Structure 1
Amino acid sequence: MALISSILALRRDARILKLPPYLSALCIIVGVVWLLVLPLNEYSRNTYVSENALLPGQVHTYFTGSEHNIFRAYRHEVAGLVDKPLEEKTQKLGDILQSSGLKVATQKYEYHSSGRTISGQNVYAILQGPRADATEAIVLIGAWTNMDGVVNHSGVALVLTLARYFKRWSLWSKDIIFLIAGDSTAGPQAWVDAYHDSHSPASIEPLSIKSGALQGAIAIDYPAGPWGHRFDKLHIVYDGVNGQLPNLDLFNTAVSIASGQMGISCTLQRMWKHDDSYQERLQTMLRGMISQGLGHASGPHSSFIPYHVDAITLQTVGDGWHDEMSLGRTVESLFRSLNNLLEHLHQSFFFYLLMQANRFVSIGTYLPSAMLIAVNFTITSIALWVQSGRPKQDPTPTSTDKIPSKTDMVAVKQDNMIALIPEASLAVIERSLFLPLAFVSSAHFLGLAPLYIFNNIPEAVLTPAFHTITALTLLLPHLTAYTLSLFHRPSRQETTLIQCLSLLLVGMFLSALATLNFSLSFLVGICAAPLTFVRPIFPPPASGGSAASSTFVAKNRIPLSLAMSALLSVVNPMVIIVGATRYWGADIVDVLVQAAEGWHVWGLWTQVVVWLVWWPAWFAGAVVVAGSVFAVPETETGKAKT
């Protein structure tokens, strides 16, 4: 009985509300440390192929000899088409594929983004597998230009050569589609959208011929010039749109064939030299997280992954002794492995972090780090909710206070036992929720304005628009706080509830996002972490309280509030975006143009998280802190003095 009485009495203990900031800080620290220990051998493991039917590297490849002469002839043809009109180039590529005995078709596409028109034409051909029933297909992609805008001479020529070479084999149990896209992003996106009948007929032409369900896609990025260029390594690009990843078995198969069967070293995330040290593993993992967090298309393969089509891009890098025949045999062996599949890749992981070509961490190991970051917001929001329901003056009896009488006690029944608890210990004041709910809802709806502006305005006005919106986001919290002080000054409870509801939504959104895009959830959570610890500094009450503390708060309230507002200005999403672009040497206009292109072409939703989750939370926290500058002392009844 005494235990029940003590537990219920703890509700009014002021020390309880001092714990949540330390718990939140502990969650953030543990979450970051959790991520930093992942590259260690004890927390990561070697990659392996789960699907036994793939049998990577178990077949003899025959792409040699006379095929080299065919390749060089096609590369010469491709070089001659560089300066030709689009229609002539498309016609010539179609004729080459048709001469190999394939069904050929073309597709036009046109997108509008940031005042620009992204248009082009895809050429594709279908090889009907002699042992296939047109229910499954594999795609081989050679974009005309790669992600850097360089003409993919050898890549396109290799696709044409492999089309002619694969046609002569009778072992294919799946159809093979050869796609020469107009570029590395819009072209593959238009084609795969039309293939799945999810395109807009106004901007994308439907496909005239199709095959079965796509089981996988391999893109070749080999931008060697008209005279060829030998390479040293294969850079395997696997990041998809919005942080989605292909099945790990496809990546492992490519690495096993290239490094094991062909003797070609493999690298990823632009880590050209990897000595398998802790620092190199950590750097590779962080690069992969940043790429997934941005959610942009990293190659022609990225457009296929949202349709659950596992895809990667094989990119040649460096100067070495490997040539197009080595790459051709790698692709041949990879297609032979995919040809063995009896069902869609499903046994291996779809959520993982790679630290090198042969080491990874699965979702069960790394997910707690992002969840801990998200939990810290929830802990603080619960503490603020409890605080908002507590009376202004806590009953803290001293030795001189009289013992409560029976009329001041409340009977609490538990398991056929009755405990008498002081009524003051259970007192909860009524919460005023209208203003907090309206404010938080309005803040999230306000984020729709920059989301629409940056995704739709022309490129020419992006720079002034960005600087204008950045200045507005820095000034808007102070203007909002001042306006509220003129019309309806929020009480301390309402201010606490605004911050409570805002942090509760952030914790909920980031927890859900962590299961879809771990990297984006973790990065946004770290950037928004200061919002957990900022608090408004109110003036001391008109009566009551310690004289020394009241004097200190009265003298330093405004400087402390301004210092906290300055801290929040530094962690403003717009300021962080500017700092990140300058750190990586990028142009902010290029970043905004690519983001707008991703919105209209790829279906990128990173901007949604920034403007409808992160920015509203920052805005609410900034308004709460700025509002304490205009606050006035409250009386013991909680009403502001007039």
Structure 2
Amino acid sequence: GVAWFLALAFPPLTQRTYMSENAMGSTMVEEQFAGGDRARGLARDFAAHRRKSGALPVAWLERTMRSVGLEVYTQSFSRRLPFPDETHERYMVSGTNVYGILRAPRAASTESLVLTVPCGPDSTNSQAVGLLLALAAHFRGQIYWAKDIIFLVTEQDLLGTEAWLEAYHDVNVTGMQSSPLQGRAGAIQAAVALELSSDVVTSLDVAVEGLNGQLPNLDLLNLFQTFCQKGGLLCTLQGKLQPQDWTSVDGPLQGLQTLLLMVLQQASGRPHGPHGLFLRYRVEALTIRGINSFRQYKYDLVAVGKALEGVFRKLNHLLERLHQSFFFYLLPALSRFVSIGLYMPAAGFLLLVLGL
């Protein structure tokens, strides 16, 4: 069983990824986002207002979202922790979420997409907020949207995301106390969470592991990787570069390291980003992080914005939820995957030995 599992990263047990959803099979769209300067300016304003207020600048976000033509709403929430958090040693956490809705001009509000940026108490994520607002202004000027788009900025990281999702779906799973949402869009088809530490990134790292090891539909990951390749963006998994040569031993060994890191992330049961909470509600989602580990590559906010624009334009074409590709898989690299039919026998042998 151990030998089988270790061999999963080697061809021919790995397969090349491919797009199963016909509506997302082609990337022949022309991305027009050019709001890099606007995104940087908004990021600076957001960071300045946050330093001044010491919390999420709710009034500034409301005013800025309304200025680009969004329907803007807020939600307050609080949560009593069963134990104090590690940083501030507090039991009660409260915050406010701000979200704006871009209504689809070509359809009724029955379906929607979400672009979300989490803001923790110690990291402002200001560049991601600036890019979100710049994309909202750009999307507002387009007429081809068939789904509502929700631009969500959450406070307190995952707590804010969970509070908003519980209120949106009218459930209370965690005992969160929150105000009801005053504005809603359609059923959420897909979501992308964005985290940027700088206005210049060297690569985009994709997180797929969700709560209790849940994974998004593989087509969503394939879609983002395709637009990264189209724009020349370096895309990584688990912070690791993709192996270039799978015919030598080094490539599969590097893939095995990435695969084992993914298994450990799933085994922890913790969401590896805000997207992991969306998966609980049957919403396919990814978290995209801009990192600065590879100094030989540099990309600005325009390149990142164009990749996100392409992803949302293709998701806008969906006629139904993503369902044709895999939900159970392991990834030795972004371009290769191991299906459930190949890794379950290895897990079965290991369980058999433990049972004996």
Partner residue of 1:74 out of 27, 36, 42 = 42
Partner residue of 2:69 out of 96, 101, 119 = 101
Counterpart position of 1:348: 325
TM superposition shift of 1:117: 2.2
Partner residue of 1:335 out of 305, 312, 329 = 312
* 2:136 counterpart letter in structure 1: A
TM superposition shift of 1:272: 4.3
Instruction: Flag the 1:88–1:267 CA change in 2: closer, same or farther, 3 A.
Output: closer
TM superposition shift of 1:87: 7.2
1:262 aligns with 2:231: yes
Cα distance in 1 between the residues matched to 2:55 and 2:263: 40
Counterpart position of 2:144: 171
Counterpart position of 1:24: none
8 Å contact from structure 2 (residues 76, 178) kept in 1: yes
Counterpart position of 2:248: none
Cα distance in 2 between the residues matched to 1:186 and 1:94: 20
Equivalent pairs: percent with the same residue? 37
Instruction: Flag the 1:345–1:202 CA change in 2: closer, same or farther, 3 A.
Output: closer
Counterpart position of 1:423: none
| Secondary structure in structure 1 of the residue aligned to 2:8 | coil
Instruction: Flag the 1:201–1:36 CA change in 2: closer, same or farther, 3 A.
Output: closer
Cα distance in 2 between the residues matched to 1:322 and 1:88: 27
Instruction: Flag the 1:366–1:273 CA change in 2: closer, same or farther, 3 A.
Output: closer
Counterpart position of 1:50: 20
* 2:8 counterpart letter in structure 1: L
Superposition TM-score, scaled by structure 1 size: 0.51
Partner residue of 1:139 out of 106, 111, 114 = 114
Cα distance in 2 between the residues matched to 1:232 and 1:173: 33
TM superposition shift of 1:184: 2.7
Consecutive unaligned residues in structure 1, runs of 5 or more: 1-30, 381-642
1:359-438 to structure 2, matched below 5 A, reads: 359-378=336-355, 380=356
1:62 aligns with 2:32: yes
8 Å contact from structure 1 (residues 247, 345) kept in 2: yes
TM superposition shift of 1:106: 0.7
* 2:291 counterpart letter in structure 1: V
Cα distance in 2 between the residues matched to 1:202 and 1:341: 33
Question: Which string of whole-angstrom CA distances, capped at 9 and with x for unpartnered residues, describes residues 345-367 of structure 1?
Answer: 00000000000110100111101
* 1:71 counterpart letter in structure 2: A
Cα distance in 1 between the residues matched to 2:105 and 2:350: 54
8 Å contact from structure 2 (residues 79, 176) kept in 1: no
Please give the root-mean-square deviation of Cα atoms over the aligned residues, in Å.
1.7
Counterpart position of 1:284: 258
8 Å contact from structure 1 (residues 109, 204) kept in 2: yes
Cα distance in 1 between the residues matched to 2:96 and 2:107: 28
TM superposition shift of 1:237: 1.0
Question: Which string of whole-angstrom CA distances, capped at 9 and with x for unpartnered residues, describes residues 143-185 of structure 1?
Answer: 2239xx4221110000011111111111000000000111331
Instruction: Flag the 1:88–1:46 CA change in 2: closer, same or farther, 3 A.
Output: closer
Cα distance in 1 between the residues matched to 2:12 and 2:144: 43
8 Å contact from structure 1 (residues 56, 334) kept in 2: no
Counterpart position of 1:156: 129
* 2:95 counterpart letter in structure 1: G
Cα distance in 2 between the residues matched to 1:46 and 1:74: 40
Cα distance in 2 between the residues matched to 1:150 and 1:59: 34
Number of positions where the alignment pairs a residue of Structure 1 with one of Structure 2: 340
TM superposition shift of 1:118: 2.5
8 Å contact from structure 1 (residues 240, 295) kept in 2: yes
User: Which structure's residues are more often strand, by fraction?
Assistant: 2
TM superposition shift of 1:194: 1.1
Consecutive unaligned residues in structure 2, runs of 5 or more: 85-90, 246-250
Cα distance in 1 between the residues matched to 2:140 and 2:215: 31
Counterpart position of 1:307: 281
| Secondary structure in structure 2 of the residue aligned to 1:71 | helix
Instruction: Flag the 1:40–1:99 CA change in 2: closer, same or farther, 3 A.
Output: same
| Secondary structure in structure 1 of the residue aligned to 2:36 | helix
Larger Rg: 1
1:115-264 to structure 2, matched below 5 A, reads: 115=84, 116-145=91-120, 149-199=122-172, 203-224=177-198, 228=199, 230-259=200-229, 261-264=230-233
* 2:325 counterpart letter in structure 1: S
Instruction: Flag the 1:202–1:322 CA change in 2: closer, same or farther, 3 A.
Output: closer
1:39 aligns with 2:9: yes
Cα distance in 2 between the residues matched to 1:300 and 1:126: 19
1:386-535 to structure 2, matched below 5 A, reads: none
8 Å contact from structure 1 (residues 241, 297) kept in 2: yes
Superposition TM-score, scaled by structure 2 size: 0.91
* 1:132 counterpart letter in structure 2: A
8 Å contact from structure 1 (residues 46, 359) kept in 2: yes
Cα distance in 1 between the residues matched to 2:227 and 2:290: 15
8 Å contact from structure 2 (residues 96, 155) kept in 1: yes
Instruction: Flag the 1:324–1:191 CA change in 2: closer, same or farther, 3 A.
Output: same
Question: Which string of whole-angstrom CA distances, capped at 9 and with x for unpartnered residues, describes residues 232-251 of structure 1?
Answer: 21101111111000000000
Instruction: Flag the 1:283–1:205 CA change in 2: closer, same or farther, 3 A.
Output: same
Cα distance in 2 between the residues matched to 1:87 and 1:275: 44
Cα distance in 2 between the residues matched to 1:150 and 1:84: 15
User: Which structure's residues are more often helix, by fraction?
Assistant: 1
8 Å contact from structure 1 (residues 56, 257) kept in 2: no
